């Protein structure tokens, strides 16, 4: 059976959120929409997003690294959200392995969100149904589109080609080759859900930083030829002029 999946290269994801905005644009007016926002830009934003990018910083200054980690439904081969659904609204397509929700059957009970270990399900507060990434099923199955366009919106929008799309069961597909040759891994394999989506691990890059590089070239103290901060914790207010 075909199992469509995404492979995300964490080495080249720059956290630009193009995947988030393109997903929102395509799906809001498409088959899976609307994707309702209550407060999209406030301190506590709420809304329906199929794809999110989480950003972390690790290490101790100056040796820190920033990680951008896109997350969405992983379209598990053994999805725990499907058997717990009391109405059969959550289902997995037999022809391509994509996990979907039938909104006409969904009663918004949230059983699927409790069963999902990845937090991929969200309640649309306007329609009162559970929603999730569909891999742009309406786009990838549209035979009227050229083959190059039959890909999820997030894949087409990514400026660094960090997102690959294909059949994870085909050993010659771009995703299978990437997983096999670049050490692709699935999230939380111990859950036994067999996520179809995989990630390519970050490669360690050693960068030598010299002490003089820690001083800003546009330091105003330098420009005005003012004394630099003395050692011992004093502030400029403590310096005798």
Mention every residue, 6+ apart, whose C-beta is less than 8 A from residue 83. none
Nearest to 98 by CA among 197, 199, 198: 197
Q: Distances from the Cα of 229 to the Cαs of 58, 210, 218, 241, in angstroms?
A: 28, 20, 16, 12
Q: Distances from the Cα of 101 to the Cαs of 15, 90, 148, 157, in angstroms?
A: 28, 5, 26, 24
Per-residue pLDDT of the chain (241 residues; tens, 9 = 90+): 899 999 999 999 999 999 999 999 998 877 777 888 777 666 776 788 899 999 988 888 877 888 899 999 999 999 999 999 999 999 999 999 999 999 999 999 999 999 999 999 989 888 899 999 999 999 999 999 999 999 999 999 999 999 999 999 999 999 999 999 999 999 999 999 999 999 999 887 665 666 666 666 666 656 555 555 555 544 444 444 4
Domains detected in the chain: 4-200 (3.30.70.20)
- What the block records as the tokens of 240 is 């005798």
* Euclidean distance between CA atoms 164 and 161, whole angstroms: 7
pTM exceeds 0.75: yes
* Euclidean distance between CA atoms 121 and 75, whole angstroms: 12
- What the block records as the tokens of 127 is 């329609």
The three-class DSSP label of residue 191 is helix
């Amino acid at each position: 059976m075909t199992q469509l999946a995404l492979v995300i290269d964490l080495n080249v994801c720059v956290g630009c959120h193009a995947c988030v905005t393109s997903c929102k644009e395509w799906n809001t007016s498409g088959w899976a929409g609307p994707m309702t926002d209550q407060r999209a830009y406030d301190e506590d934003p709420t809304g329906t997003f199929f794809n999110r990018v989480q950003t972390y910083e690790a290490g101790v200054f100056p040796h820190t690294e920033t990680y951008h980690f896109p997350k969405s439904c992983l379209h598990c081969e053994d999805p725990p959200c499907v058997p717990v659904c009391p109405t059969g609204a959550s289902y997995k397509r037999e022809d391509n392995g994509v996990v979907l929700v039938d909104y006409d059957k969904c009663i918004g009970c949230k059983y699927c969100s409790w069963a999902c270990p990845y937090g991929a399900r969200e309640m649309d507060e306007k329609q009162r149904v559970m929603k999730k990434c569909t891999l742009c099923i309406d786009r990838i199955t549209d035979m009227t589109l050229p083959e190059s366009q039959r890909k999820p919106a997030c894949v087409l929008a990514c400026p660094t080609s960090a997102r690959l799309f294909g059949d994870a069961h085909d050993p010659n597909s771009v995703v299978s080759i990437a997983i096999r040759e670049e050490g692709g891994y699935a999230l939380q394999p111990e859950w036994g859900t067999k996520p179809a989506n995989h990630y390519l691990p970050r490669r360690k890059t050693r960068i030598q930083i010299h002490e003089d590089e820690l001083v800003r070239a546009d330091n105003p103290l330098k420009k005005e030829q003012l004394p630099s901060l003395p050692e011992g914790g004093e502030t400029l207010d403590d310096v005798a002029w």
